[in-house]
Amino acid sequence: MNRNEQLFNRAKNIIPGGVNSPVRAFGSVGGVPRFIKKAQGAYVWDENGTRYIDYVGSWGPAIVGHAHPEVVEAVREAALGGLSFGAPTEGEIVMAEEIAKLVPSVEQVRLVSSGTEATMSAIRLARGFTGRDKIIKFEGCYHGHSDSLLVKAGSGLLTFGNPSSAGVPADFTKHTLVLAYNNTAQLEETFARIGGEIACVILEPFAGNMNLVRPSENFIRSLRALTKQHGAVLIYDEVMTGFRVALGGAQSLHGVKPDLTTMGKVIGGGMPLAAFGGRKDIMACISPLGGVYQAGTLSGNPVAVAAGLKTLEIIQREGFYENLSALNRQLTEGFQAAAREAGITFSADYIGGMFGLYFSDGLPQSYADMAASNTDGFKKFFHGMLDNGVAFGPSAYEACFMSAAHTPELVEETVAAARKVFAQMAAEI
Ligand SMILES: *Cc1c(COP(=O)(O)O)cnc(C)c1O
């Protein structure tokens, strides 16, 4: 038995499913999860000592590469000065000012420790600000695991959602309406019917939790116009896309100013840090100024802030996003050519530093499109790539992440591995 298997068996005795976040268990692809021993630059090493070119990037945060020396040094320096104070620090102001500078729709910002906290707080804030209860989310968008967001679509059109997790009372989710991503007509119809009752609409401005799915221009324009017209708060959940698809996030590419924005992943540079922010008049509703309660013992943690600030400094260096895009173009074009050669049905897309791989003919527009893709093909591809030293997220519904530590040579190596795996897959059909 190899060490990954040993550790997985040992973990399953003491940790439910052996993991501290479900996707890590390899449930949807089968097999044994790789227990990571260390990571450096574009590589991770598992407990067997096997090295992988990594496109998980800790699910996004590792945009400058793993254990970047400057980030590690910033963390070390901060840690020497104390790990947590439970009192305000200057670093938090610098971080907030930096976020507001890079994301102009954010006039004020509050730091929290996870994306879940950021979105949960933003929703509470939107409800407090509007005095309304109902919220709209879209099928396939993930906004963390707070009760009112663990909702799947109801049975009929325009019905309120059902809990997608045991332990969530239906009473909690009856205020959450789940609509289809990119379905502008459904959105218009909903606002025409109950627009005055909607506190907020929350979306992933490029969806990254049903693989990578782009919104149509029409959908984005309607979202902004309808929320404005009906006095609902528009929340861009940029926990994944913030500082990932572009320096100013998805909103800078859409040319849209949301009312609130949630951020996480990249802003912590691998440490637990997230944020929500936006219009000053809305943010003024948060405690201690306003009546919407929100708090955190470790919020704005000095070590996390140090890691985040150094990461934000590095991503502002000349050509950072152009480089990520060029690597992503090389990878997605290489994969598509390799799939075509092998006769495998496949497509790929990228935006800035994230990319999507699909075992389907065209690019998916919604969760339903993704669900109709060949997830079995993904499974084979995933394990084939792993066997060839390349790690992707262990689910067809996950986006993939490029880092600045990747190089054209590493991408070429990745494409060569894909060529081999596609050929194996074709031989099996
Ligand atoms: C990862 C993610 C979250 C949740 O963040 P956590 O830090 O895992 O709680 C929320 N929204 C989006 C879009 C995400 O990608």
DSSP 274-341: EEEEE-HHHHTTBTTTSSB----TTTT-HHHHHHHHHHHHHHTSTTHHHHHHHHHHHHHHHHHHHHHH
Reply yes or no on whether 259 is catalytic. no
Res 157 pLDDT > 60? no
Cα 422 to averaged position of ligand 1 atoms, centre (Å): 31
Index of the ligand 1 atom closest to the CA of residue 59: 1
Res 159 pLDDT > 90? no
- Per the rule left: phi > 0, alpha: psi between -120 and 50, beta: everything else, 393 is beta
Cα 413 to averaged position of ligand 1 atoms, centre (Å): 30
The answer to which of 152-156, 219-223, 399-403 has the lowest mean pLDDT is 152-156
Cα 412 to averaged position of ligand 1 atoms, centre (Å): 30
Sign of CA dihedral 178, 109, 400, 349: positive
Contacts of residue 132, defined as CB under 8 A and 6 or more positions apart, other chains included, come to: 196, 197, 198, 199, 232
Index of the ligand 1 atom closest to the CA of residue 262: 11
Q: Structural domains in the chain?
A: 3-67+318-428 (3.90.1150.10), 69-316 (3.40.640.10)
- Give the residue whose CA is nearest to atom 10 of ligand 1: 143
Res 156 pLDDT > 60? no
Query: What is the CB < 6 Å shell around ligand 1?
Result: 114-116, 119, 142-144, 204, 208-209, 237, 239-240, 264, 274
| 267-278 average pLDDT score | 98
Tell me the per-residue pLDDT of 183-198, one tens digit each, with 9 for 90 and over: 999 999 999 999 999 9
Say what the pLDDT of residue 153 is.
Answer: 73
The residues pairing with 162 across neighbouring beta strands, listed in sequence order, are 152
Reply yes or no on whether 379 is catalytic. no
Say what the pLDDT of residue 155 is.
Answer: 60
pTM assigned to the model: 0.97
Cα 382 to averaged position of ligand 1 atoms, centre (Å): 23
